[in-house]
Amino acid sequence: MNASLMTLEICVMALGTVLMLADFWLPDERKKFAGYAAVAALTGLLVISFSGCGACSLGGSAFNGMFVQDGLAIFFKRFFIVAAILVLFMAVEFSDRIAGGVSEYYSLIVFALSGMLFAASANDFTMLFVAIELITITFYILTSFQRGRLVSLEAGVKYLILGALSSSFMVFGIALVWGTTGKLNFNELAAVAAQFETSKIFLFGVLFILVGLGFKIAAFPFQIWAPDVYQGAPTPTTAFLAVGSKAAGFVLLLRVLFTAVPTVTAHWMNLLIVISAITILYGNLCALPQRNLKRLLGYSSIAHAGYLLLGVAALSASGQSALLYYLAGYLFTVIAAFTVICLVTRHLDNDDVSALAGLNQRSPLLASTMTLAMASLAGIPPLAGFFGKFLLLKAVLEQGAVNPGYYCLAFTALAGVVISFYYYFGVIRAIYWSKNVVDVSPIQLSGPIKVAVCICIAGMFWLGIFPTTALDMANEAAKVFGK
């Protein structure tokens, strides 16, 4: 066993514990610093992950192959750490809206992060289940953290019950797979999966596992929870849910589909195409009449799950690397949007689109950040969202010769993009061209949050204009499935 491979996870766990303990000694007015300390520590870990030393070198596995450290794992671990850092910046800004236990909020984010790190390395159904539950259970708490607000509690309960439902399907599925094949490790399962292709019980099992993962990424028909939970949860939680939890779902989905049961996946081309197409349409269509910002982004996140599924449905290396690239752009874009929402609605009860009215006068930085984020989500060059969508569509069209359904899928995705312009630009219109601007008081921004916002903007432009570096990383990570 090679426990040193898990250095990142162990450090993150320790950081979470320290943060929780710090709550006892830190006076209330100093609690902000706990958040910044966590940011600093995670930044350190991010640097280490890029240094390529010991724990972060490629290759190697631990716990009898349950835990692997490959290109994909490293890619996602960096991704999750960056997401957590940006979310923590937001959480510090949000702390005055949390009744008690601010340090706990930070530490729960860090614990959720550790679950995501494990998910990135999971190579075994047991590991998969543990990692997912670690993430999901922390999110139950994070969602209902604003104990004084009924919507927050309601969201927590809904997430808990539906999450439990999906987990039960998943664990049942794992049991069925193990019962038929006797294997839990992905690599070992891949070796025997071909024999069970016709076994309905085995396929039942795999499908139930996919149901659980589909719930995590909010893909049709398991998307039903997303809008309510996104709307009710505290904004930093929503952001982390939209980015971290969804990405964890995707890394596991990729591992299960392409490492554990690749031969089965090849038969499910049509299933993936249909799910991807409906998810895109559902998210975009439902977002059209939305006036609540967070709910709107909830639907938008469903639509983006659909776009990301394009990369899965393509069943090709270029599709997988496009998916990874798109996730990277999505990270900066979505966190930028939620940061703006978090700052603008500080003194407001609702998250209505009208809250943005006159933002260009109140804070030009936030107004342009929101505009860029919406433009990137809509896929306007030169921002990250454009290049990501381009790569995904390219990957899908490349497969058009295999199955004409891919052309329909690409067309559906384009139609979805066109529909989405309406509501994304509705947000931009609310910022700049609102008729009745009530509040024009300037919004004060703290130094750190400006840094976070600027990182997001830089990330959107960097990925959109100089895609080479990130694309190389994504290609490197996607090589895992080529073996």
Count of residues interacting with other proteins (CB under 8 A): 34
What does each C-alpha distance from 43 to 40, 81, 237 come to in angstroms?
Answer: 5, 8, 20
Residue closest to 291 by CA, chosen among 230, 338, 352: 352
- Measured N-to-C along each axis, helices 405-432 and 364-378 cross at an angle, to the nearest 10 degrees, of 160
In this complex, which beta carbon is closest to other proteins, that of residue 30 or of residue 267? 267
Minimum gap (Å) between residue 152 Cβ and other proteins: 15
Minimum gap (Å) between residue 296 Cβ and other proteins: 11
Residues between 190 and 229 with contacts to other proteins, criterion CB under 8 A: 200, 203-204, 207-208, 210-211, 215, 220-222, 224-225, 227-228
Q: Which stretches of 228-302 are assigned E, i.e. beta strand?
A: none
| The dihedral sign for the CA sequence 392, 324, 88, 36 | negative
Residue 165 near other proteins by CB under 8 A = yes
Minimum gap (Å) between residue 29 Cβ and other proteins: 38
Q: Which stretches of 47-153 are assigned E, i.e. beta strand?
A: 61-62, 67-68
Out of 18, 153, 274, 445, name the contact with other proteins by CB under 8 A.
274
Out of 80, 145, 169, 307, name the contact with other proteins by CB under 8 A.
169
Given a contact cutoff of 8 angstroms between Cβ atoms, the answer to whether 286 and 227 are in contact is yes
In this complex, which beta carbon is closest to other proteins, that of residue 281 or of residue 323? 281
| 67-68/61-62 β-pairing | antiparallel
Rounded-to-integer distance, Cα 81 and Cα 88, Å: 10
In this complex, which beta carbon is closest to other proteins, that of residue 141 or of residue 162? 162
Minimum gap (Å) between residue 221 Cβ and other proteins: 3
Out of 166, 180, 238, 333, name the contact with other proteins by CB under 8 A.
166
Minimum gap (Å) between residue 298 Cβ and other proteins: 10
Minimum gap (Å) between residue 286 Cβ and other proteins: 5
Residue closest to 310 by CA, chosen among 320, 299, 301, 300: 320
Minimum gap (Å) between residue 430 Cβ and other proteins: 18
Residues between 403 and 462 with contacts to other proteins, criterion CB under 8 A: 419
Report the first-to-last Cα separation within the chain, whole angstroms: 23
Q: Phi, psi at residue 122, to the nearest 5°?
A: -65, 130
Segment contacting other proteins (CB under 8 A): 18-26, 102-110, 119-127, 159-167? 159-167
Residue 161 near other proteins by CB under 8 A = yes
In this complex, which beta carbon is closest to other proteins, that of residue 225 or of residue 406? 225
Minimum gap (Å) between residue 289 Cβ and other proteins: 5
Residues between 285 and 344 with contacts to other proteins, criterion CB under 8 A: 285-290
| The dihedral sign for the CA sequence 12, 331, 282, 258 | negative
- Side chain identity at 175, as an amino acid letter? A
In this complex, which beta carbon is closest to other proteins, that of residue 188 or of residue 228? 228
Burial of 153 (0-12, 13-18, 19+ CB in 10 A): middle
Rounded-to-integer distance, Cα 327 and Cα 307, Å: 10
In this complex, which beta carbon is closest to other proteins, that of residue 285 or of residue 380? 285
In this complex, which beta carbon is closest to other proteins, that of residue 75 or of residue 222? 222
Out of 282, 307, 326, 386, name the contact with other proteins by CB under 8 A.
282
| The dihedral sign for the CA sequence 98, 100, 106, 109 | negative
Residue closest to 424 by CA, chosen among 385, 461, 391: 385
Token pair 């299933």: residue = 271
Q: What is the CA radius of gyration of the chain?
A: 21
In this complex, which beta carbon is closest to other proteins, that of residue 220 or of residue 240? 220
DSSP states of 37-74 as a string?
Answer: HHHHHHHHHHHHHHHT-GGGSS--EETTTTEE--HHHH
Residue 262 near other proteins by CB under 8 A = no
Out of 10, 37, 130, 157, name the contact with other proteins by CB under 8 A.
157
Out of 62, 162, 365, 397, name the contact with other proteins by CB under 8 A.
162
Residue closest to 73 by CA, chosen among 432, 401, 418, 324: 324
What does each C-alpha distance from 133 to 159, 171, 429 come to in angstroms?
Answer: 13, 11, 40
Burial of 54 (0-12, 13-18, 19+ CB in 10 A): exposed
Out of 40, 47, 271, 465, name the contact with other proteins by CB under 8 A.
271
Residue 150 near other proteins by CB under 8 A = no
Minimum gap (Å) between residue 211 Cβ and other proteins: 5
In this complex, which beta carbon is closest to other proteins, that of residue 151 or of residue 190? 151
Q: Phi, psi at residue 332, to the nearest 5°?
A: -65, -40
Minimum gap (Å) between residue 288 Cβ and other proteins: 3
In this complex, which beta carbon is closest to other proteins, that of residue 299 or of residue 326? 299
Minimum gap (Å) between residue 395 Cβ and other proteins: 23
Minimum gap (Å) between residue 419 Cβ and other proteins: 6
183's tokens: 């294997």
Binding site for other proteins (CB under 8 A): 157-158, 161-162, 165-166, 169, 200, 203-204, 207-208, 210-211, 215, 220-222, 224-225, 227-228, 268, 271, 274-275, 282, 285-290, 419
